[in-house]
Structure 1
């Protein structure tokens, strides 16, 4: 597979990862008839990660048929990429085959981070991926309704998981390891705390709420405290696959592919990144569906610009809100600035729960719309804060070099 010239020429683009960013990128690329798009993904169905806590609770299966969200012109290869050979422009697959490309979109997403807490890998259940939640479901089903459940991690995922199970009558303790909902405004945090209290969730915050060890039936905290726990669910932190690092490409400290502001790899102009696994200018966006559905099309636009002989545009990602479900009958919609900083305005209760459900339903629709009308969306929210941060970094660099000299 190689890039050719002439009336029958085709450019081969391989997209690694069929999540929000990967599907959006693949769909956007189909607007050119001379581009052949192959999507490599380890499973045959699209996973709605924003609904994985519902899968754990039994209210949704969290998967969608790719035929509903992927453009007809995209070839789906169900396999796992094990190595990228940038020099040969090829991707090695777990089944032994290879996929050659002219351009590569790196959208491998994120998953559970190594907990690095004694016993956590053996006795706690992460929920960042479909298979992880599928392993958790029968464990929850087998546990008595009164059995104590511990959710570790006070971020948005942990909060949603704790509320989902508590609404079903489970005895849930949420161990934050710090502040509850650190990305929320204090007013929004109080709304969340109130809803969790109404559901009967015990919330442990502060330095003494750091998990030091996990056993088969307990969670140990700082200051020697021990919680009885029949099921321990781990939501503290996300990591990214190490495909880029294993392939010799430059990454940030977490393993995200380092790119410039056009989402192009700092090592190779034929490789473009999108979603949770991208680190543009070593200043990555928050790992989220909200960022991924914006990054995916823009990664595709970088490829399309190069094919057209044009200069790719710098990335533009803007945030609007952080929306959480707090069970099926409650939620919170926390408004944010474009740079994802929480504002003081939020609303909760059933209206927020309905808003969250509308957002979740709207995401597959958005993917399908891009499949039907690739390239129809031509505007992106601009975040002036990012431009200022990048400029400040550039201004500081010469001064730092001068001091070292």
Structure 2
């Protein structure tokens, strides 16, 4: 069978990489051609970026090596425009790639544009290079002492603050958040989290909103100034404007609006996955995490493989299962959840949680390697009745 289909995958993060490798395995006898486009040849483990920021050395994984033996063509470059009417992509402003189907997996990044001074004076975890510069700054401060602020009390902010405090005990680390850190967890897990923050000496500024980032401080909404020799910004995310610029239907945040099969409602030959897709289920809209992103990639690879063969597809179903949070290298807390991410009574802490979190963080790379020769599932829960619709 040789249908000459060309599928382009934009973005080689967790979801784009998995969809490309799984799709290659699922379509290996159909003559489908797959091209993966990404600005860098390095595969970035976003789940470990806080470790780089704290000064730890991590293994470097190259995309061509991960794709070896799959038949996927890797194009290193930045997608600068999409022409959905002619089904083509412009790479680096001049190279054109045609496609029959497009998998849009460009993900998201930390938004520093909404708060004055954040783009100029704050570091982010948007790339290993930026995280590395932040780590170098922490190394400088460790020699004389100083204050580090982590702005944003979500799971990324919590992991970053605890990792920094453990790796640099001589620095004063302040976690600033308008909401209660760990507020989505159950009482037992949240209490454990707060004990860990206290043990590591992390100062909490809750109910505080940063209104300006200065070269050596952050300004809060109540007018207070908090000293900051190094500021790490983890609050808020944004997505690329590429889809909206191409007049592909998006929501007010720029996420591609998709149907029940994760296909664009305006251009059904475009499949959106991970952080780039506005995926609504009966219980609500999923948010960007590796936990939800990998299942969208798996589902989309399987869906395209079925469509190429002229087969019918079923709607996407997914349910959350857990919230794994590292608290430095020697501690962690795992909150188990219902499909809609509300907490269950069960949680895991201490050494068992550390092993669990390490298994979660390392699982994508293991999944990619296995997926080159077999179908490996990343869907832990389909959510049961909470995600069923009348069309199932």
TM-score for the superposition, normalised by structure 2? 0.92
Q: CA deviation at 1:48?
A: 0.5
Give a deviation string over 1:44-83, Cα, whole Å, max 9, x none.
0111000000011122436422245335211111111111
Alignment map for 1:67-146 (pairs within 5 Å): 67-70=64-67, 72=69, 73-145=71-143, 146=145
Counterpart in the other structure of 1:66: 63
Q: CA deviation at 1:379?
A: 6.9
Contact 2:55 2:132 in 1 (8 A): no
Q: CA deviation at 1:344?
A: 2.6
1:187 and 1:380 map into 2 onto residues whose CA distance is 23
1:257 and 1:62 map into 2 onto residues whose CA distance is 33
> SS of the counterpart of 1:368?
helix
Counterpart in the other structure of 2:359: 358
1:312 and 1:82 map into 2 onto residues whose CA distance is 31
Contact 1:29 1:35 in 2 (8 A): no
1:56 and 1:223 map into 2 onto residues whose CA distance is 29
Give a deviation string over 1:133-163, Cα, whole Å, max 9, x none.
1332222222235210000011000000000
Q: CA deviation at 1:177?
A: 1.5
Contact 1:278 1:284 in 2 (8 A): no
Counterpart in the other structure of 1:335: 336
2:353 and 2:313 map into 1 onto residues whose CA distance is 38
Q: CA deviation at 1:92?
A: 0.6
Q: CA deviation at 1:225?
A: 1.4
Alignment map for 1:138-177 (pairs within 5 Å): 138-145=136-143, 146-168=145-167, 169=169, 170-177=171-178
Counterpart in the other structure of 1:11: 5
Give a deviation string over 1:337-395, Cα, whole Å, max 9, x none.
1222222321222221222112212221012111222x45497732246537x78xx9x
> SS of the counterpart of 1:144?
helix
Counterpart in the other structure of 1:382: 382
1:200 and 1:246 map into 2 onto residues whose CA distance is 46
2:378 and 2:344 map into 1 onto residues whose CA distance is 27
Contact 1:27 1:71 in 2 (8 A): no
Number of paired residues? 382
Counterpart in the other structure of 1:48: 45
1:51 and 1:149 map into 2 onto residues whose CA distance is 19
Farther-moved stretch of structure 1 (301-310 vs 104-113): 301-310
Q: CA deviation at 1:285?
A: 1.4
The alpha-carbon distance between structure 1 residues 380 and 361, as it changes in their structure 2 partners (threshold 3 A), is closer
Contact 1:339 1:385 in 2 (8 A): no
Backbone CA RMSD of aligned residues: 2.1
The alpha-carbon distance between structure 1 residues 217 and 85, as it changes in their structure 2 partners (threshold 3 A), is same
| Unaligned runs of at least 5 residues, structure 2 | none
Counterpart in the other structure of 1:277: 276
Residues 1:258 and 2:257 are matched in the alignment: yes
Contact 1:69 1:365 in 2 (8 A): no
2:126 and 2:316 map into 1 onto residues whose CA distance is 26
Q: CA deviation at 1:278?
A: 0.8
> SS of the counterpart of 1:354?
helix
Contact 1:181 1:189 in 2 (8 A): yes
Contact 2:294 2:378 in 1 (8 A): no
The alpha-carbon distance between structure 1 residues 165 and 126, as it changes in their structure 2 partners (threshold 3 A), is same
Contact 1:155 1:183 in 2 (8 A): no
The alpha-carbon distance between structure 1 residues 331 and 255, as it changes in their structure 2 partners (threshold 3 A), is same
Counterpart in the other structure of 1:29: 23
